[in-house]
Amino acid sequence: MSDQDGGLEEARAQFIRGELDGALVAARACLAAAKAAGDMTATGRARTLCGEIAYDRLRYPEARDELKRAVTELESSGADENDVRYARASLGIVLHTLDDVDGATAQLAQVDPDPAAGPAEDLTVAHAGRWIVLAVLHQAFGGTPRARAILERLLAVMPDSDSDSDDARRAARATAHLQLAATLQTEGANAAAIENEERCVELRTSLWGPTNVRVLMAKLSLAQLLLASGRTDDACPLARDAMATLEAIGRADDPRASVAHATLGLVELTSGDVAAGAKRLERACAIEEKTFGGASPRTAKMLVMLAQVEATRQQWGRVMGLCKKMIPALRGDARSTDAYLSACGLDCTAHIALGRAAAGADRLRDALANLDRRGAAFSEELRRMIAELWLLLGRTEIATGRRSGVSTLERARALAMDCGASDILDAATNDLEHVRRGGGMGLKSTS
């Protein structure tokens, strides 16, 4: 191995450990040396790592630009196919994050032309990374069966063993367990997901110690899984301990720490401490806004969580203020439809609570019209949310004396029937019968 290759491998090892500042310095040094030597393959490999580091620091446009150049450099130099596919898969993930779905799809087609292919028996650690990144790209597109097959195969050909002295292999397995946990959770297999997440935590802790940032983030991810499985008593101490360690090592305000604060916030809320949960979510939102700006869909999704908490506390003025920030950011983002619907419902409810029902109805009707204009096919869950909002709108219009309320309730009824939401169907039917008998109606919850 040349000094240059050794330097890049050490830079990658730092990156895998989560030591991003040191990894970036080392990767840039390797990039400069490769360019000076006129070695286009080494230049492309070093630039790939620079792009990965930029992505991990949430600098998505920078990551995209670096990885595009890396792909060009690697292909033009006739580099190893594994290096090219790794760079392309990494680029695909970045493009998908930036909502360039067509661009991401093009990368996926080139890095996974054979859906039946998988990691070979003689898989090396150097090649394992490409398969993991490919699985993550499939996850981004919702292709969980393919992602799961890749990761399960990878773990099968890289057997799990506590006696394994190859740190790189153990680190690769830890990441594979982490990504497999995410895939299994998406499929609803929470018990198996927890097992994989626990193994990731064990491997990373044995490699890097309990205060490593990647260990702590894996613990918080495990806490989320435990919480989703109803194991609040197990999730609470794990999340609190991880967050306390992040604060002790001075990493509690890092860009990625927003997820940590949000996770602990959900844990606190589930355990009944609403005030503590709200404070954690506020801190998470502050980090998101600092990193991405208030107009980012990612920031807005975090604000939806905070607004939902404030609604339970009946802080309606606060809810309305949050909705004004998040609805414009979510309005045009097709991948945030669930958050957009939640925000619109919260906004209307806040207007009603503050005695501004007519304005709330106007805003909600405009939001639903925006969805109609998209002409998109929605999942059953989203169709249920839409039916519920039409029911809320119909009730609000009836209560404010608008004749359109009847036709709105009829639409809510039809939508509920279409998605099998029997509770919404019954509510809309009962409301229509009541109105047609000449009765008015107050504003009431659909829940």
Phi-psi region of 337 (alpha: psi -120 to 50; beta: other; left: phi over 0): alpha
160 located within any domain: no
Residue 352's closest CA among 341, 363, 368? 363
Give residue 174's pLDDT.
94
Give residue 441's pLDDT.
54
Residue 361, pLDDT above cutoff 60: yes
Two tokens, residue 139: 């996850």
Q: What is the DSSP string of 29-88?
A: HHHHHHHHHT-HHHHHHHHHHHHHHHHHTT-HHHHHHHHHHHHHHHHHTT--HHHHHHHH
Report in angstroms the alpha-carbon separations of 339 from 196, 247, 342: 29, 29, 5
Two tokens, residue 413: 């009824």
Domain limits for position 221: 209-292
Residue 150, pLDDT above cutoff 80: yes
Confidence of residue 445 (pLDDT cuts 50, 70, 90): very low
What are 15-72's pLDDT values in tens digits?
998 899 999 999 999 999 999 999 999 999 999 999 999 999 989 999 999 999 999 9
How many whole angstroms separate alpha carbon 127 and alpha carbon 120?
10
Report in angstroms the alpha-carbon separations of 197 from 133, 169, 193, 226, 337: 18, 17, 6, 10, 29
224 located within any domain: yes
Of 116-120, 226-230, 333-337, least confident by mean pLDDT is 116-120
Confidence of residue 395 (pLDDT cuts 50, 70, 90): very high
Mean local confidence (pLDDT), 146-161: 87
Residue 346, pLDDT above cutoff 80: yes
Residue 2, pLDDT above cutoff 60: no
Confidence of residue 165 (pLDDT cuts 50, 70, 90): low
H helices of 141-256, in order, are: 144-157, 167-186, 190-208, 213-228, 232-248
How many whole angstroms separate alpha carbon 131 and alpha carbon 89?
9
> Residue 280: which CATH number?
1.25.40.10
Mean local confidence (pLDDT), 392-411: 94
C-alpha atoms less than 13 angstroms from C-alpha of 207 in its C-beta half-sphere: 27
Mean local confidence (pLDDT), 351-373: 93
265 located within any domain: yes
Residue type, 5: D
174 located within any domain: no
307 located within any domain: no
Confidence of residue 442 (pLDDT cuts 50, 70, 90): low
Q: How many CB atoms are located within 10 Å of the residue 347 CB?
A: 23
How many whole angstroms separate alpha carbon 84 and alpha carbon 6?
19
Residue 282, pLDDT above cutoff 80: yes
172 located within any domain: no
Residue 88, pLDDT above cutoff 90: yes
Q: Are 303 and 322 in contact (CB under 8 A)?
A: yes
256 located within any domain: yes
How many whole angstroms separate alpha carbon 365 and alpha carbon 359?
10
247 located within any domain: yes
Mean local confidence (pLDDT), 209-225: 93
What are 426-439's pLDDT values in tens digits?
999 999 999 988 76
* Matching residue, tokens 């639409």: 411
Give the residue, 119 or 307, on which the prediction is more confident: 307
Confidence of residue 161 (pLDDT cuts 50, 70, 90): low
The number of domains in the chain is 1
Phi-psi region of 338 (alpha: psi -120 to 50; beta: other; left: phi over 0): alpha
Q: Decide: pTM greater than 0.75.
A: yes
Residue type, 162: D
Mean local confidence (pLDDT), 399-407: 92
Report in angstroms the alpha-carbon separations of 287 from 90, 122, 132, 310: 25, 44, 29, 19
Residue 235, pLDDT above cutoff 80: yes
